[in-house]
Amino acid sequence: MATDYYAVLGVRRDASQEEIKKAFRRLARELHPDVNPDPKTQERFKEINAAYEVLSDPQKKQVYDLGGDPLSQSAGGGTGGFGAGGFGNFSDIMDAFFGTASQRGPRSRTRRGQDAMIRIDVELDEAAFGTTKDIQVDTAVVCTTCNGEGAAPGTSAQTCDMCRGRGEVSQVTRSFLGQVMTSRPCPQCQGFGTVVPNPCPECAGDGRVRSRRTLTVKIPAGVDNGTRIQLAGEGEVGPGGGPPGDLYVEIHELPHPTFQRRGDDLHCTVTIPMTAAALGTKVPLETLDGMEEVDIRPGTQSGQSIPLRGRGVTHLRGGGRGDLIVHVEVQTPTKLDPEQERLLRELAKLRGEERPQGQFQPGQQGLFSRLKDAFNGR
């Protein structure tokens, strides 16, 4: 064969019809005579058209793969794709430049509105147990003067006299392929097919106006920072009074003076003197459920954690609640009066701790390091 049609389109011999069509459209956009009038490019364009005519037709492709000349057997003769057979693929060339015909026609003035989002602050207890809040939103609503039509009262939209309601205008030009008809949106009506000679004075023909309104939002128990609550149909009304989008309420949880939230668990730190850690005590703590006493057992060490089960945040999905974790920090006195020092030295003597040797362990972490590792999931 004098011409390798697969090489002309740049595809493999086992390429699918979709791959062949994509290759042809890509080359057609690059080599079309209207884009590149160079004579050599026109010859190249003839080659890819002939190659596509053969490879896109199963019967011609079979003849070609068997070593025959499919173009000499076609109805248009061997003209390389611009005879009767070549124009069978004209729609593919037009699709490569202008898209399909199904995309044409008048556009509707009525379109769906955009989604909107508002951010609200909630306290920790509101996030833990849920609440309701009144919020003010400023969105587009249907214009009550024209009811979304966009025309002044007593008037209406009229058929565009330029495109006669089609929303597009056509133009015939001469090219290397002969007469080619192209279509584009009508410049007078912007593709709507109708014009509004007397726009509504309230909305300037848009069919919607800005308005501030109050909504009541139910915040479920267990929400966290970044949680978004969807309110269907409470967003922006679309142009022409179209259906509204949705409103998304994003939660921002305010910091709490005592508790730090990690998922559905709450964490806090209580500082006690070393005598209380040694002897044990009870420390009052104001939890989300009210006042409770934290039991510090005798011999509690600095860095120990005391869990209060079910005193955390409600699980957003499913029942139950997280825990409240109390971290203990033992405070060592930095100043002692003479009597206190005497008593401590006497205690150290009784316990045999006058000259302690200490116990060293590799990699021992302090309280803050352990808290940091726990927070990072180590």
Per residue of the chain (378 residues), what is the pLDDT tens digit?
457 888 888 888 888 888 898 888 888 877 776 666 677 777 888 888 888 888 888 888 888 887 777 766 443 334 343 333 343 344 455 555 544 434 456 888 888 999 999 999 999 999 999 999 999 999 999 999 999 999 999 999 999 998 888 888 877 676 655 566 677 889 899 889 999 999 999 999 999 999 999 999 999 999 999 999 999 999 999 998 899 999 999 999 999 999 999 999 999 999 999 999 999 999 999 999 999 999 999 999 999 999 999 999 999 987 899 999 999 999 999 899 999 889 988 988 888 877 877 667 776 555 556 655 655 555
Strand 290-296 with 281-287, pairing: antiparallel
What is the structure's pLDDT at 208?
Answer: 93
Q: Which residues are annotated as a binding site?
A: 143, 146, 160, 163, 186, 189, 200, 203
Predicted confidence at residue 293, as pLDDT, reads: 95
pLDDT at 115: 94
* Residue 186, CA distances (Å) to 156, 162, 171, 206 in order: 20, 7, 11, 19
pLDDT for the residue numbered 377: 53
| Rounded Cα distance, 336 and 361, in Å | 30
pTM above 0.75, yes or no: no
Closest CA to 129 of 218, 36, 20: 218
Q: What is the pLDDT of residue 267?
A: 97
Q: What angle do CA 73, 68, 41 make, to 5 degrees?
A: 80
Domains parsed from the chain with CATH numbers: 5-102 (1.10.287.110), 116-153+198-253 (2.60.260.20), 158-195 (no CATH), 260-375 (2.60.260.20)
Q: CB neighbours of 265 closer than 8 A, spacing ≥ 6?
A: 312, 313, 322, 323, 324, 325
Contact 188, 163 (CB under 8 A): yes
Q: In what order do the strands lie in the sheet with 265-273?
A: 260-262, 265-273, 324-331, 305-308
Number of C-beta neighbours around residue 12 at 10 A: 9
> Counting beta carbons within 10 angstroms of the beta carbon of residue 239, is it exposed (0 to 12), middle (13 to 18) or buried (19 or more)?
buried
Annotated binding residues for Zn(2+), as ranges?
143, 146, 160, 163, 186, 189, 200, 203
Confidence (pLDDT) at 227? 95
